[in-house]
Structure 1
Amino acid sequence: MKHVLIAGATGYLGRHLCAEYQSRGWHVTALVRKKTGGADLAADTIIEAEATWPETLHGTMANIDLVVSALGITRQADGVGYWDVDYQANVNLLVEALRSNVIHFAFVHVLHADRMDHVPLVAAKSAFVRKLQTAAIQSTVIAPTGYFSDMGDFFTMAKAGRVWLFGNGQHRINPIDGADLATATFDAIAQGAAWADIGGPATYTQDEVAGLCFKALDLQPRITHLPDVLRRLSLWLLPRLAPRRLAGPAQFVLTAAAMNMTAPPQGTRQLADHFQTLAASSDAERASDSKGDTP
């Protein structure tokens, strides 16, 4: 039996990666910050360690054949930032993998990172990728277009009654479900790919993504297009005025919003079904709240 260690195992993609590798007959070791957070993971072994502290990683990769890191942060908090986690914590994992003679190291990156190196979140990831690609280990870099979960901002705006978009709403994206991305990641690594751009099965314009949200909510579409100059102004103001924990993810979202985030299609799960699930959950919450308000 082959052994894989999943870093970032309690995150959105990490959970799907654990389930995918276990379903393929691998022994899965999940690296988590706190074991209580990984109680429901599809993992054979759970190891508690803090990847930003290299001494806690010693011995964690004995008999491991493959490390897959989906480790990264969206919002900078707890006194750590992108360079502490997306770069240095992954460097610490790589150093331990090399020390333990791990054969293969895979890392989940960002699509079009070469066009977003001025964005702190992406710059830290890109710096790690450069280090990984020069290390004495087989490597695979996975660059997804975006997760279904990332489309939540569209749904939240639609639920509030209006979706606000910068520009003309015609930039395209083919986001992918986490389970489909885990499958595509497994296949890319198994095939020995050095790099894999991965998208979902269907491509939409931003206007069309908004339309799917309104349809799921059974609401009349209301989309407002803002001048792109406002997006560019926001990018200039964010690092100067906003708290770091808010500026970082906003810079990434606003930069990606002005690109076509499309990659070769993989998977079968549809974004419309994802929004239908969110809408059903929203309806259930409203029904529960109504019952709670009944005297």
Structure 2
Amino acid sequence: MKDEGKTLIAGASGALGTEIINLLTTEGKDIRALTRSDKGVSKLSKYTDDVWKGDAAKDQEGIRGITKNITTVISALGKSVSLFTPSQESFMESDFRANRNLLKDAVKNGVKRFIYVSIMGADSSKDFSIARAHKMFEKELKSSGIAYTIVRPAGFYSGLNDLAIMAKRKVIPLIGSGEAQTNSIHHKDLAKVVVSFLNDGPEIAEVGGPNIHTRREMAEMIKEIVGGEIIEIPEPMAKISASLGLPKIFSEGINDKLDYFTFITTNDMIGESNGKISFREYLGNLDLKKIT
């Protein structure tokens, strides 16, 4: 049997990273994990005793050698795009610099393969700092000399928790016509796709879930299961909807996130169909008590 070597999962304590580690552990793979927090270390310790704690963006020395004896790197590093998640870090720090530092170490230590979870729209001509950071790292990875697969999800179901939060607050914003389509994917199904590329895969994989819905259809499902009223917002007004009180319920510094949210919800985001978990099933299993 071929020795597949050891795999490093960066961003391992996040929703996607944890599912990836769970799958690899179940398959008996040898893994190393990177997380930034003590809570993450505690969470990951049940999967492996090879857990590194470090901030890949700010502490290059702290992660020096993290890819030694690693065959494949899987990076799920990145800043949350949630409108409700405050963060002092920029997308350039969390999505570009962190991954670039990891890549530098991987090149130095002769890593054979690098799987990077990017976002659909990273290659867009639109200039969003979110997409720009991913695009810049994709370019670095392509020129690194390491075999790679860049996974661009159409979107995570969990990324739509913002709409569930707003629905609990009685408002479900529908930007534009609502006719733009997407097939977002559950992070468990996405993890299976990522793991399937462990040894080989396409250079670019645009990945979606099992069902295509319009944004209006998804808003109607949220209304049915969570509650709230659908409020239609003309696209040019998406950032200045003061009459709805929307800016008051978001976190600080959300302008770029809101721009990007408007972009992805008014353009088709459809990837290759994968998985079995539907958006309706995801909403039905959502713990609304934890959605604030």
**TM-score, with structure 2 as normaliser:** 0.86
Higher helix share goes to which structure?
A: 1
Once the 2 structures are TM-superposed, how far is the Cα of residue 83 of structure 1 from its aligned partner? 1.6
Q: Distance in 2 between matches of 1:77 and 1:153?
A: 16
Q: Which has the larger radius of gyration?
A: 1
Q: How far apart, in 1, do the equivalents of 2:72 and 2:100 lie?
A: 15
Does residue 222 (structure 1) correspond to residue 232 (structure 2)? The answer is no
1:267 — aligned with what? 275
Aligned to 2:264: 256
The amino acid that maps onto 2:281 is D
Shift of 1:116: 5.4
Are 1:54 and 2:54 counterparts?
no
Count residues with an aligned counterpart: 273
Match of 1:238 in 2: none
CA distance in 1 between counterparts of 2:119 and 2:256 reads: 15
Matches within 5 A, 1:112-127: 112-115=121-124, 117-127=126-136
* Counterpart check, 1:77 vs 2:77: no
Corresponding letter in the other structure for 2:237: L
**Counterpart secondary structure, 1:201:** coil
1:182 aligns to 2:191 (yes or no): yes
1:149-196 per-position Cα deviation (integer Å, ceiling 9, x unaligned): 011122223333342211121111111111100001111343322110
Q: Letter of the 2:62 partner, please give it.
A: T
Deviations 1:228-272 (A, max 9, x none): 2213768xxxxxxx9973223222212211111111110011111
In structure 1, runs of 5+ residues without a counterpart are 235-241, 287-295
Please provide the CA RMSD for this pair. 2.3
Distance 2:133 2:209 in 1: 25
* Contact 2:183/2:269, CA 8 A, preserved across alignment: yes
| d(CA) in 1 for partners of 2:290, 2:104 | 46
Letter of the 1:223 counterpart? I
Aligned to 2:205: 196
Contact preservation (8 Å) 1:154, 1:209: no
Taking the aligned partners of 1:127 and 1:245, their CA distance within structure 2 comes to: 22
Corresponding residue SS for 2:24: helix
Change (3 A) 1:224 1:245: closer
Contact (CA 8 Å) 2:34, 2:54: kept in 1 or not? Answer: yes
Match of 1:136 in 2: 145
Find the residue that maps to 2:56 and give its secondary structure: coil
- Structure 1 contact 35–47 (Cα < 8 Å) conserved: no
Q: How do residues 85-164 of structure 1 correspond to structure 2 at under 5 angstroms? A: 85-115=94-124, 117-164=126-173
**Does the CA-based 8 Å contact 2:175-2:238 persist in structure 1?**
yes
In the alignment, structure 1 residue 64 sits paired with structure 2 residue 74: no
2:20 is matched by which residue type in structure 1? L
Q: 2:10 aligns with which of 4, 7, 11?
A: 7
- SS of the aligned residue for 2:223 comes to helix
**TM-score normalised to structure 1 length:** 0.85
Q: CA distance change for structure 1 residues 163 and 85 in 2, over 3 Å: closer, same or farther?
A: closer
Q: Which amino acid aligns with 2:285?
A: T
Matched with 1:43 is 47
1-side partners of 2:52 and 2:257: how far apart? 29
Q: 2:245 aligns to what?
A: none
SS of the aligned residue for 2:174 comes to strand
Q: Look up the SS of the partner of 1:17 in the other structure.
A: helix
SS class of match (1:179)? helix
Report the CA distance shift for 1:82/1:162 in structure 2 as closer, same or farther (over 3 A): closer
Moved more, 180-189 or 197-206: 180-189
The percentage of aligned residue pairs carrying the same residue is 26
Check 1:14–1:117 CA distance in 2 against 1; reply closer, same or farther (3 A cut): farther
> How many angstroms apart in 1 are the aligned matches of 2:290 and 2:39?
26
The 8 Å contact of residues 235 and 262 in structure 2, kept in 1 or not, is answered as no
**Offset of residue 222 of structure 1:** 3.4
Cα deviation digits, residues 59-94 of structure 1 (max 9, x gap): 21221110011111136734x322222111111100
Say if 1:33 and 1:50, in contact at 8 Å, map to a contact too. Answer: yes
